[in-house]
Structure 1
Amino acid sequence: MKSLKPKYKVCLRTRTNLWEDLAPLGEKSFHRPKWRNFLQSLKRGHRRRKTYKKHALIRAKSRVRKFFRIRSSFKYSLENRQRLKAFYGGLQDRKLNALCRSLWGKEKPRLALIRVLESRLDVNLYRLGFFSSIRASRQSISHGKIQVNGRKTSIASFSLSIGDFVEVSPKYQTSIRSSIQSKRRLSPTPSWIEVDYPSLSFIVLNSIDAKEVLYPFWLNADEILWSSTLGS
């Protein structure tokens, strides 16, 4: 349970269950008021939002033509940004700002931002349930456990393209397969990917449809683009 404490702290800071599958708290170190209050807030839930089938996942939304109270706009923008950075394995502000600025002014930058993030190798391995978090996915890639088109790669941010074939190295498949089998549930497989769980491999079939990308929390990508380019 102690190994999960960093993930709980991130969820506590962002006030969101970013990974959706956190185990119940059990040790005495977690029985402090801050943890109890966080769990109670998750149980109460916020206002109902449109979800995808039986999964507690929602699509990123736009803030076009919407206005926010000045008193809470900074807090809203900060929490929105923290959720995105934490979910994608601790994105650095510098890299996120550079990415947003490069996409600003292009057609539908919100969708372009999601496509760039979702094309990463570490993100796809997490989305398919091979690893419990993007950080764990990134660590396994750096240790040479993943092969792309028959070659080992240590670049977690490697951008996948149509036709790329990804597989887990044979000597690491047993541990990863048992981890997948212990999961309570898996997220829906993206329509642009064909995955073969028995062989722990997948292939990219089509371009990423950013409108189909789902998150276990509410994300305003337009707000992040705006704050990274005009607000910083």
Structure 2
Amino acid sequence: MSKRVQAKYKINRRLGENLWGRPKSPVNKREYGPGQHGQRRKGKVSDFGTQMVAKQKLKGYYGNLTERQFRNLYAEAVRRRGDTGENLIGLLEQRLDAIVYRLKFVPTVFSARQLVNHGHVKVNGRRVNIPSYQVKVGDVIELTQRAKEMALVMEAGASSEREIPDYISFDGHKATYIRVPTLSDVPYPVQMEPNLVVEFYSR
């Protein structure tokens, strides 16, 4: 479980953006940062600061991954052929908890991680309880019968807050991971800049 589950909106306020595009985010009412010094005038941000914010946004969006988890994904992105930034986005979107969130099984990435942790998600017919599990193209993802009857899951599925992206096929019961998306395919509510994340780690 993420250490930030109870304070997830602090990430929003610290970064000054509604990371998940949710109507209940406090950033919609208070665009300044948290704490007694949150309303201080911000100075000019350095290149390092800009890169750091880009990293924190991307890391925070996926449930505030630990630095070790995120750095390991970056190392794998570097190892693969092609554009490192695009590879990083692809690896993040292949995480099982990210796919559960994209399928609207749950309302937040944090609850997606919890749903997987509790063994409510199956991949190719087998239960998987590891949120960071890397789903492959062609894999079939579905919920257990017990999970389908949860109020949280039913409410999330009926919500019009988000749409299921076209790189995942869903027939209402089972989903198939069709292809690894690029940055332009992923429906981020805010602008993500993986190129700045690459610059941050390659300093």
Q: What is the TM-score with the length of structure 2 in the denominator?
A: 0.80
TM alignment of 1:44-193, pairs within 5 A: 71-104=45-78, 106-175=81-150, 176-181=153-158, 183-187=159-163, 189-193=164-168
Which of 152-161 and 73-82 deviates more?
73-82
Contact 1:128/1:186 (CA < 8 Å) preserved in 2? no
Contact 2:18/2:25 (CA < 8 Å) preserved in 1? no
Aligned to 2:38: none
1:85 is displaced (CA, Å) by 1.1
Alpha-carbon distance between aligned partners in 2 of 1:224 and 1:153, rounded to the nearest angstrom:
30
Alpha-carbon distance between aligned partners in 2 of 1:92 and 1:103, rounded to the nearest angstrom:
17
| CA gap 1:24/1:209 in 2 versus in 1, 3 angstroms | closer
Contact 2:122/2:141 (CA < 8 Å) preserved in 1? yes
Q: Structure 1: which 5+ residue stretches go unaligned? A: 26-33, 40-69
Alpha-carbon distance between aligned partners in 1 of 2:197 and 2:74, rounded to the nearest angstrom:
8
Contact 2:9/2:25 (CA < 8 Å) preserved in 1? no
Which of 7-16 and 135-144 deviates more?
7-16
Residues 1:38 and 2:31 are matched in the alignment: yes
1:89 is paired with a residue whose SS is: coil
Residues 1:194 and 2:172 are matched in the alignment: no
Contact 1:101/1:229 (CA < 8 Å) preserved in 2? no
1:87 is displaced (CA, Å) by 0.3
**One-letter amino acid matched to 2:161:** R
Alpha-carbon distance between aligned partners in 2 of 1:74 and 1:196, rounded to the nearest angstrom:
44
1:98 is displaced (CA, Å) by 2.9
Report the aligned-residue RMSD: 2.5
Aligned to 1:7: 8
2:31 is paired with a residue whose SS is: helix
% identical equivalent positions = 25
| CA gap 1:193/1:184 in 2 versus in 1, 3 angstroms | closer
Contact 2:121/2:141 (CA < 8 Å) preserved in 1? yes
**One-letter amino acid matched to 2:24:** A
1:145 is displaced (CA, Å) by 0.7
Larger radius of gyration: 1
2:82 is paired with a residue whose SS is: coil
Which of 74-83 and 94-103 deviates more?
94-103
Higher relative contact order (CA 8 A, sep 6+): 1
Alpha-carbon distance between aligned partners in 2 of 1:146 and 1:81, rounded to the nearest angstrom:
29
2:122 is paired with a residue whose SS is: strand
Contact 1:162/1:206 (CA < 8 Å) preserved in 2? yes
Alpha-carbon distance between aligned partners in 1 of 2:76 and 2:192, rounded to the nearest angstrom:
20
Q: Structure 2: which 5+ residue stretches go unaligned? A: 33-43
